[in-house]
Structure 1
Amino acid sequence: MNDMIRAAVATAPERTELQWLPKPGVRPESGLLRVAATGVCGSDLPYYQTLPQTRGPVILGHETVGHVEQMGDIARAKWGVKEGDLVALEEYIPCGFCRFCRSGDFRLCNATDWRLGGMRYGATGMNVAPGLWGGYSQYQYLHLNTVFHKVPSSVSPRHAALALPLSNGIEWTYLQGGAGPGQTVVIQGPGQQGLACVVAAREAGAECIIVTGLGTPTDHRRMELAKKLGAHHTIDIQSQDLLETVADITGGELADLVIDCASGGTDTVVSAIQLARKQGRVILGGQKRKRIPEFDSDMIIARFLTVKGMRGHSYQSVELALQLIAGNRHHVTDMSTHLFGLEDTDLALRTLAGKGVEDAVHMVIDPWM
């Protein structure tokens, strides 16, 4: 069976099966990664629910960490890595020559958007040869335009899998949101991204970090973790008036920066704008897939607000994330709560929908367990 590998294949909406697949050969312009760990991202849930129906069988998982197993001569000359290196991958597979790639913002390259026919790790169907485009597998095929990050020697693969969610927090809070010393930051939603924003805000020196969530047991446990990671206050929006509580905490000044990481309805977009002080900034990170009815856009004008929509992370933010993980700054590795074998991939994905294990924050699949 040395020429066969195991992978968890999403074969239909909300159905994942273990399969044995042929181990592909490597061309001069490609390579092969021996997967060590792959994080389970909240964005995997809509893929799990819909992608197998629209793209056929697919190997999900894009927060991949592993050792470079093999690479062709063209790839070797381009990548700057060697066999055996432990690396973390970005999900993006950019073209490398458009204006966004040339300016370093390759996440905006159309080639990274699978909805426009592009490729992305964890979202490309197995009908695209050789099919091993996701991390829920023992091996992952490496495209010539793969974006690599070398993992510091002190970091385990399990914790390195936190790099992408943590990089989103750094990107949204610090690089795009401008959080800094003396500022008040409100973070809506205590999921992976919200907790990552807490770590980034604390690292940036924010004076007051407030995290909001629901009155569910899950959110309460996550808000307790938020305090350990550096939040100063948490608000249960089902038992406390959100605007009044933030006004009380800030002496009526409200927030310099509000980051909406909440999934679901559009109410948090409106509250994010309401919570920002004059000249404040609002970062919208949680996709709603819904329209906002009767939205009063004059609030943005009256308060002279800056409102930004976020799309993923930058190369810089991933590098900064790996540095924070290496030093376990602000207890960031506590975000990694569950480790599963490949046969439990479906359980991990169902957990994202609240149908699996309890108390999960960041889950990791180890395909060799």
Structure 2
Amino acid sequence: MNEAHRHSESSRTFKAAVAVEPSRTEIQTFERPDITSSTGLLRVAITGVCGSDAPYYRQLPQSRGPLILGHETVGHIEEAGELARTRWGLKEGDYVALEEYVPCGHCEYCLSNEFRLCDATDWRLNGLRYGATGLRTAPSFWGGFSQYQYLQLNTVFHRVPSTVAPKHAALALPLGNGIEWAYLQGGAGPGQAVVIQGPGQQGLSCVVAAREAGAAKIIVTGLSTKTDKQRLALAKRLGADHVIEVDQEDVLERVADLTGGAMADLVIDCASGGPATVTSAIQLARKRGTVVLGGQKRVPIPEFNSDMIIARFLTVKGMRGHSYQSVELALQLIAANRHDVTQMSTHTFGLDDTDLALRTLQGEGVEGAIHMTIDPWQ
């Protein structure tokens, strides 16, 4: 076999980290899929590790796995068919960030740019979603913890400025969530008091969005654990005015003190723990305030007193994901490094260390991680 042929053969294969069973991924080698007129292939530059990857990693549903995780993907168009190039307005080599949603493109939600609400993107309805679709769904390569990722015709792209490093561009989706929750849906604005429960990726992104929107007082709550202390310190560097360790202080009394008794115009619950933070979010909001519920609890709230919502004339919104607009705004903030937002990007791992990164989400890996990325070529 001559050198040219050996090179051709090696370029037809690639590696990916495959979640094969609960709490275990393994590196596997695959043949690159053939591209048709309506499909494409992304050469992955980097992929962010999202908190929502953790449940798949820990519990890997048999109906979904094995699969390639990772949906905060940034890379370059490697190949694209003629129809795909026309639909996307992109060409080979273009630098892009992907959304996880692969919508149908024709329902009422898609036509109003609410891709996240399209049934075709809902994994609970066996919808197609990057980072949550298994190898059994041809051509298998739907996740970003991989050197290459398959691109379906309805993929939602965002162009990334050439000056933005891939690891920073991977902040686009979590920061987009923060902009969506705090600003576009929460209505954060000048003069307001905003309380953010939970100092993880989403909570910190909400801090940035609330500060950019001009909120007068931003309060972030967390625990007195080592991890949360580090994150609360980062929240202050990103623009929070006050932080509260809720296992050390009475959060209702402290917020009342900080707001002169008025309480918060906007409360955003980003906490991933039990349902108690939903109750506290309602209690922390002022009359005519807004409560945004973003942190999934996965258990019902026992004996929830809905009269609190009525008595305070509250607006309560359930929130999931981001809009196209919020991700575009996020990329603008990242490109300008507004509020020093790129400091949220703390760790980059090679493909072989995907397990370590996913364990870190559960507090079992490296310390001090906020937003981690996987570089599949490292």
Please give the secondary structure, in 1, of the residue aligned with 2:196.
Answer: strand
Kept in 2, the 8 Å contact 1:11–1:52? The answer is no
Q: Residue 67 of structure 2 corresponds to which residue in structure 1?
A: 58
Kindly report which structure 2 residues correspond to 1:115-194, keeping only aligned pairs within 5 A, or say none: 115-194=124-203
Distance between the aligned counterparts of 2:309 and 2:198, measured in 1? 22
* 1: CA distance, partners of 2:342 / 2:65: 35
CA distance in 1, matches of 2:112, 2:257: 43
Pick one of 37, 43, 55 that aligns with 1:34: 43
Q: Which residue of 1 aligns with 2:6?
A: none
Give RMSD over aligned pairs: 0.6
Task: Tell me the residue number matched to 2:21.
Answer: 12
- Give, in whole Å, the separation in 1 of the partners of 2:65 and 2:115: 27
Change (3 A) 1:293 1:52: closer
Compute the displacement of 1:54 (Å): 2.8
User: Structure 1-normalised TM-score?
Assistant: 0.99
Give the 5 Å matches for 1:168-317: 168-317=177-326
| Structure-2 residue corresponding to 1:341 | 350
* Structure 2 counterpart of 1:350, from 340, 356, 359: 359
Tell me if structure 2 keeps the 8 A contact 1:266–1:288.
Answer: yes
Q: CA deviation at 1:152?
A: 1.1
Tell whether the 8 Å contact from 1:13 to 1:53 is kept in structure 2 after alignment: no
- Structure 1 segments (4+ residues) deviating >6 Å: none
| SS of residue in 2 equivalent to 1:359 | coil
Q: Using the alignment, how far apart are the partners of 2:115 and 2:28 within structure 1? A: 33
Q: Give the match's secondary structure for 1:54.
A: coil
CA distance in 2, matches of 1:256, 1:14: 40
Question: Which blocks of at least 5 consecutive residues in structure 1 are unaligned?
Answer: none
CA distance in structure 1 between the aligned counterparts of 2:29 and 2:116, rounded to whole angstroms? 32
Aligned residue identity for 2:310: I
Offset, 1:222 = 0.3
Which amino acid is the alignment partner of residue 310 of structure 1? M
> What is residue 84 of structure 1 aligned with on the other side?
93
Question: Could you report, residue by residue, the CA deviation over 1:108-162 in whole angstroms, capped at 9, with x for unpaired residues?
Answer: 0000001101100000000011111000000000000000000012101110000
- The alignment's TM-score, normalised by the length of structure 2, stands at 0.97
| Residue deviations 1:297-337 (CA, integer Å, cap 9, x gap) | 00000000000000100000000000000000001000000
- Alpha-carbon spacing, 1:52–1:289, altered in 2? closer, same or farther (3 Å): closer
- Could you tell me which of 104, 109, 132 is aligned with 1:100? 109
1:25 aligns with 34
Contact 1:9 1:58 survives alignment (8 Å): yes
* Equivalent residues of 1:38, 1:161 under 8 A apart: yes
Query: Which of these residues, 47, 52, 56, is aligned with residue 43 of structure 1?
Result: 52
Tell me the distance in 2 between the aligned counterparts of 1:305 and 1:354. 35
1:73 alignment counterpart: 82
Shift of 1:55: 1.9
Q: 1:52: how far off?
A: 5.0
- Please state whether the residue corresponding to 1:53 is helix, strand or coil: coil
Q: SS at 1:357's partner residue? A: coil
Give the Cα separation in 1 of the matches to 2:190 and 2:132: 38
- SS of equivalent to 1:210: strand
What corresponds to 1:109 in structure 2?
118
Q: How many residues align?
A: 369
TM-fit CA distance, 1:51 = 2.7
Structure 2 CA distance for aligned equivalents of residues 91 and 58 of structure 1: 14
- Structure 1 counterpart of 2:94, one-letter code: D
| Amino acid corresponding to residue 219 of structure 1 in structure 2 | D
- Unpaired runs of 5+ residues, structure 2, are 1-9
1:117 partner letter: N
